[in-house]
Every structure is written in C-alpha cells, then in structure tokens.
Amino acid sequence: GEDVEQSLFLSVREGDSSVINCTYTDSSSTYLYWYKQEPGAGLQLLTYIFSNMDMKQDQRLTVLLNKKDKHLSLRIADTQTGDSAIYFCAEIISSNDYKLSFGAGTTVTVRA
C-alpha cells in the first residue's frame, strides 16, 4: 500500500481556506514536502517542514505537522482560482540520498 496517503479531491469556494491532509508512515522522516502540479506541468515545491517543527507559515500557506499521529496538513488561506491544481505531499524515505515517497495527490478545484 501507499506509504503516504491523501484524500483525492477537494472542492473549495474562492476566498475560503483549503485544508489538504496527508498521513505518512515513516516515523524517521526528516523532511516533509508539499508540491503543486498544474495540468500537464511538472512539480513546484510549495513548502517543506522539518520534522522537529510543528508549524510553518509562508504567506498564504500554513503547514501543520503532528508527528505523533504522522499527520501533515497544508492550509491555503484565501484560496484563488490559480490554486486549482494537484497537491502532493511527500516524505523523504532515504536520508542517504533524499529519495521521496509521494502521496497520490489531492485535486483541488476552486469554484467561483
């Protein structure tokens, strides 16, 4: 099964906040990442959090990490139509060479 799990779809109204959730299995993960993928494009790193942090805020993005429950979330404040994309969470599965394990991705649709 998947090492990293995410819900597949999220629909949100423009201007509202979006919260995307992710659970991971490797308790030794050092870094956890959020990537954004727009249609037909590669991946864009949005933000990352080190495992000894509980929260990281970067403009409209807030990452929360609950290490005990192995739960990671990404909150997007004031969601805009340009935020419509697939969002992947990922964890490092190998600290030697920084291999990443990705979740299946959450498709976020922003409606007017």
Partner 1 sequence: GAVVSQHPSRVICKSGTSVKIECRSLDFQATTMFWYRQFPKQSLMLMATSNEGSKATYEQGVEKDKFLINHASLTLSTLTVTSAHPEDSSFYICSALPRGNTEAFFGQGTRLTVV
Which residues contact partner 1 (rule: CB under 8 A)?
2, 4, 30-31, 35, 40-45, 48, 88, 92, 97-105
In the complex, the smallest distance separating the C-beta of residue 45 from partner 1, rounded to whole angstroms, is 6
Cβ nearer to partner 1, comparing 83 with 88? 88
Residue 56 C-beta: closest distance to partner 1, Å: 14
CB of 105 to partner 1, least distance (A): 6
17 vs 95, beta carbon nearer partner 1: 95
Q: Dig out the tokens for 89 from the structure.
A: 């969470």
CA 7/CA 41 separation, integer angstroms: 21
